[in-house]
Structure 1
Amino acid sequence: MMGMLDTIVAHKRAEVEGRRRDVSVQALRDRPLYAVPRRGLRAALARQAPRGVIAELKRASPSRGTIRADYDVPALARGYAAAGATALSVLTDERFFRGALDHLAEARAAAALPCLRKDFLIDPYQVEEARAWGADAVLLIAAAVAPNDGAALLAAAAESGLDVLVEVHAEAELAWALGAGATLVGINNRDLASFTVSLDTTERLAALVPTDVLVVGESGIRSRADLDRMRRAGAHAVLVGEAFMERPDPGAALAEWLGCP
């Protein structure tokens, strides 16, 4: 039986082939946002370490269904920026997370923060898409790609001038990421096979990361206490979505965490 990640990746392959038939790489490169200067995600996180927060715009998920019915991307992006977010993560997967590439462009226009395209990256074409819609960085989930494909995606992102947040959950994935030259590693506290969450994952894996590589704690971070725990574990930043999205005012929720008025 296919797991959820396998199901998503299989759908993504078909989706990407359809997009490639409809829109050529040259057409992507002709889009106005393709040529704009990038806002470096890694540099922004390094400046604010260990207090960096990547605040996520996330409408829905396969496990939770709709998380936020009132999903006003520009308003959410502005709220996060005003509250002190270091960067934005924008879900662009349509089928499983009800996101859209247009959300990426809307977020970039609304807030002067680096924007991460949060999707299931399996093909260099998606890197071109990300840049064409204004992304400054892309997420690469190690568990979703074969090692050789992952290396090709890292190279494609470097060629496009985009930072890469390489997401890992296990020691073998971390070893691959570091061997491939990743300088920004996200440690996912959620097991994508079982969907169980344990903050111990970041505590265990962060200790194995060299000091010149930035660590982002991901998933299961639901309180200021969790945020502090990730910092103590060695995370330079955290990525938080659902804990903010389910609150009436996500920006205000972030401000509370950061101790802002």
Structure 2
Amino acid sequence: MSFMPQRPAIAYASSEADGQFPDPEIPETTTPPVEDPAAEAEVDRGDVLARICARTRVDVEQRSQIMSLKEITTRAREVSTPTRGFGQALQHLTADRQVGLIAEIKKASPSAGILRPEYDPVGIARAYQAAGATCLSVLTEGSCFHGKTDDIRLVREACSLPILRKDFILDPWQVHESRLIGADCILLIMAALSESQASELIAIARGLDMDVLVEVHDEDELTRALALDTFMIGINNRNLKTLKTDIQTTIDLAPMVPPDRLVISESGIRTQSDLMRVGDIGASAVLVGESLLRQDDPGAAARKLLGF
């Protein structure tokens, strides 16, 4: 795909027809934030993904005792407010041979530590939308990213872009929760899931009218992902064990993705040159967080990345 400057993103209605959506009764995460996620990752150089997934399973188990799987399933199926079409927004850009920006909103990460001590997800979301982002990614994981499920509600009420819930989705309970908190798309990480687990979670998401971004890190994970019923493949340039990034991962894997799928290059995108580089080998969008959030003005950083 030859890179072209991106046009302003599609606008979606920001008002919601259902006064109880997003659902205000979803129990908040019970996982306390790690004071310095980067320091923890430095001290414990074990598998960061495994550590976060272990915490996530405990968190889901505790919260599902407050709201059972049966109850949360019923609530999710009763939501009448339509999703905003995360994949559709990216497809519109791809049809025009443009590379979209999925701009990420998070307070912290294991690789960077605290990114925004004064964290304002609403202000960041509005700045990204004004800058021309196509979609948003909101971190809701509590321990290493200091996220909250309520962050998606706040962002959804403040702007009109489609929202990816960026979290470690391992259980059907979390998929139903994602619909109830206002997500339009969920992330599934193949490094944390078997094919059968991923397939089950995708089926639930599709039944709730949510899109699914399946994330891979290597050729084996890509092969497994391509067997699933989803059209968006995220290629994460970050090694989840070392936390180092290298966009060569996208350059190596993107040509293996069939043309009927959308490729999203994640992590390690810092400049417009990086964006153009992955766009030229087939990426339909980039997912960028740290390089924008490290700046005083993330919106201005997003505009610069897009070439405005």
Could you say which TM-score interval applies, normalised by the shorter chain?
over 0.9
8 Å contact from structure 2 (residues 47, 241) kept in 1:
yes
Does residue 210 of the first structure (1) align with residue 258 of the second (2)?
Answer: yes
The superposition leaves residues 80-99 of structure 1 with CA deviations (integer Å, 9 ceiling, x where unpaired) of 11111000000000111000
1:44 maps to what in 2? 89
After TM superposition, the structure 1 = structure 2 runs for residues 9-158 of structure 1, keeping only pairs within 5 Å, are 9-25=53-69, 26-27=71-72, 30=75, 34-49=79-94, 50-158=98-206
Q: Secondary structure at the match of 1:113?
A: coil
- The 2-side partners of 1:44 and 1:86 are apart by 7
Percent of aligned positions with the same letter in both sequences?
45
Q: Secondary structure at the match of 1:255?
A: helix
1:63 CA drift (Å): 2.4
1:66 CA drift (Å): 0.2
- The 1-side partners of 2:198 and 2:82 are apart by 25
Amino acid at match of 2:286: V
Q: Secondary structure at the match of 1:190?
A: coil
- Between 32-41 and 120-129, report the one with greater CA deviation: 32-41
- Between 150-159 and 119-128, report the one with greater CA deviation: 150-159
1:30 CA drift (Å): 3.9
1:248 maps to what in 2? 296
Residues 196, 169 of structure 1: CA spacing in aligned structure 2 closer, same or farther, 3 A cutoff? same
Residues 28, 158 of structure 1: CA spacing in aligned structure 2 closer, same or farther, 3 A cutoff? closer
8 Å contact from structure 1 (residues 28, 34) kept in 2:
no
- The 1-side partners of 2:73 and 2:221 are apart by 31
Gaps of 5+ in 1: none
Does residue 195 of the first structure (1) align with residue 243 of the second (2)?
Answer: yes
8 Å contact from structure 2 (residues 137, 164) kept in 1:
yes
CA RMSD of aligned residues (A): 1.7
8 Å contact from structure 2 (residues 89, 134) kept in 1:
yes
2:279 maps to what in 1? 231
- The 1-side partners of 2:78 and 2:250 are apart by 35
- Between 143-152 and 237-246, report the one with greater CA deviation: 143-152
- The 1-side partners of 2:177 and 2:49 are apart by 21
Residues 147, 47 of structure 1: CA spacing in aligned structure 2 closer, same or farther, 3 A cutoff? same
1:162 maps to what in 2? 210
Amino acid at match of 2:87: R
Gaps of 5+ in 2: 1-44
Q: Secondary structure at the match of 2:101?
A: strand
TM-score (norm 2): 0.81
Residues 200, 107 of structure 1: CA spacing in aligned structure 2 closer, same or farther, 3 A cutoff? same
Structure number with higher helix proportion: 1
Q: Number of aligned pairs?
A: 260
- The 2-side partners of 1:28 and 1:180 are apart by 23
TM-score (norm 1): 0.95
Larger Cα Rg: Structure 1 or Structure 2? 2
1:24 CA drift (Å): 2.9
Residues 156, 230 of structure 1: CA spacing in aligned structure 2 closer, same or farther, 3 A cutoff? same
Does residue 5 of the first structure (1) align with residue 5 of the second (2)?
Answer: no
Q: Secondary structure at the match of 2:256?
A: coil
Amino acid at match of 1:36: T
Residues 158, 19 of structure 1: CA spacing in aligned structure 2 closer, same or farther, 3 A cutoff? same
